[in-house]
Chains A and B, each alone.
Chain A
């Protein structure tokens, strides 16, 4: 059960300025984008401006194609549901835009759907930028340096290492229980009943292991407060630190104005 395989995150290995940015800088950027999209003026022009800015940043990091692909995968189902539902059924619907065989498309609902979708797209692009350009190890290093907490770093990092072996274990348990005659293809009620014999061995086995794992960690000085050297070096600059504070300050001001207005 050596967890030698790591579950792949969405990280894309490229060498661009986005990749080299400090993870916390990118996190503050997501926060700023989110606040700017949802707390700023609600005109469509403003949102499109944000959208354009984000697209330019993405393109300059060489991630435009991947982001567009991922975005399409998330936005398309939303679009297919949201545009029809709101343009037919939005409660504030007044103005008839189009009438087609008794189906009426209303202006208010359509506008509401479009503005929600564009806001969401802006925030999604910023988050995809972060996920695509940040190696999980970099994020964990950055967090453990700032929070000085080995626990938080462990909580973020170890699941990525454990996932692959846990997935293998599910398949082993399933094979074993089927060999004992467990019905996994019957009617719905039978399938509900077969949930417990699959889930219980998995979870019980994992929880019983907790003791061993925690002793192994303690023995290696997990909770020691001395500063550990890290193999990964993160580049951070005074400029980036300044930008982080600036972005957080702008986000706070926008929120404050939004709260007052």
Chain B
């Protein structure tokens, strides 16, 4: 019962509904990007939004569940990276808590911080589970770095960082813009929106 009680205090019904919609936005965001043929993922915009509007724990849970659901509807490989998505949500929530989402250029800095968190969690998973290679475009960077004589760890760190930097900065700025554009009657219902809005 204690888990239930803690859950109830942290997560109001509004937050829970926001999280479920954010999960859908995460999954659909990837579809939008492939429609526009852009070289980014945009699969964590919902996670970052929940981090901004409802705090780090709600953001982390949103990321985790997004990848678990992804694992059920497309491929279990996504589920292996669920801790990474969780780190993104927590990082975004923490950045917002410390006022790093007040302006668009602060949001860009938050994007870089999120990329660092992302790399800290993603690199071990890539290294130990996948041997550094995941069958994606980032593998070209990894192999280029290996060819230059870097060790596997360094190569994976560089490829994860470069492949995610632009994506996470764009995600952070878009999330900032979305929260700014929300009507007051919605933001007053969400506990942490004032971290972003009252600039």
Residues in chain A within 8 A of chain B (CB atoms): 7-10, 38, 70, 73-74, 77-78, 80-82, 85-86, 89-91, 112-113, 116-117, 119-120, 123-124, 127-128, 131, 136, 147-149, 151-152, 154-156, 158-160, 162-163, 166-167, 170, 174, 184, 188, 191-192, 194-196, 198-200, 202-204, 206-211, 213-214, 217-218, 222-223, 225
The 8 Å CB contact of A159, one of B61, B69, B80, is B69
> Are B16 and A7 interface neighbours, CB within 8 A?
no
B residues near A184, Cβ cutoff 8 Å: 35-36
> Are A7 and B21 interface neighbours, CB within 8 A?
no
The 8 Å CB contact of A200, one of B27, B33, B177, B189, is B177
Within the assembled complex, what's the spacing in Å between the Cα atoms of A147 and B68?
Answer: 17
CB of B20 within 8 A of chain A?
Answer: yes
The 8 Å CB contact of B130, one of A89, A120, A147, is A120
Chain B, interface size category, equals 35 or more
B residues near A128, Cβ cutoff 8 Å: 76
> Are B147 and A89 interface neighbours, CB within 8 A?
yes
A residues near B42, Cβ cutoff 8 Å: 195, 199
B residues near A162, Cβ cutoff 8 Å: 20-21, 24
Q: In residues 51-96 of chain B, which contact A (Cβ within 8 Å)? A: 61, 65, 68-69, 71-77, 79-80
> Are A210 and B73 interface neighbours, CB within 8 A?
no
CB of B107 within 8 A of chain A?
Answer: no
> Are B146 and A91 interface neighbours, CB within 8 A?
yes
> Are B21 and A209 interface neighbours, CB within 8 A?
yes
A residues near B71, Cβ cutoff 8 Å: 127, 131
Q: A38-B129, A188-B38, A206-B24 are in contact. Are A81 and B75 (CB under 8 A)?
A: no
CB of B31 within 8 A of chain A?
Answer: yes
A residues near B74, Cβ cutoff 8 Å: 10
Residue of B nearest to A136 (CB): B72
> Are A223 and B13 interface neighbours, CB within 8 A?
yes
Q: How far is the CB of A23 from chain B (nearest CB, A)?
A: 11
> Are B24 and A159 interface neighbours, CB within 8 A?
yes
Within the assembled complex, what's the spacing in Å between the Cα atoms of A10 and B74?
Answer: 7
CB of B14 within 8 A of chain A?
Answer: yes
Within the assembled complex, what's the spacing in Å between the Cα atoms of A26 and B29?
Answer: 31
> Are A223 and B135 interface neighbours, CB within 8 A?
no
CB of B23 within 8 A of chain A?
Answer: yes
Q: How far is the CB of A26 from chain B (nearest CB, A)?
A: 12
B residues near A89, Cβ cutoff 8 Å: 143, 146-147
Q: In residues 125-164 of chain B, which contact A (Cβ within 8 Å)? A: 128-131, 133-135, 139, 142-143, 146-147, 150-152
Q: How far is the CB of B110 from chain A (nearest CB, A)?
A: 18
The 8 Å CB contact of A149, one of B7, B49, B80, B146, is B7
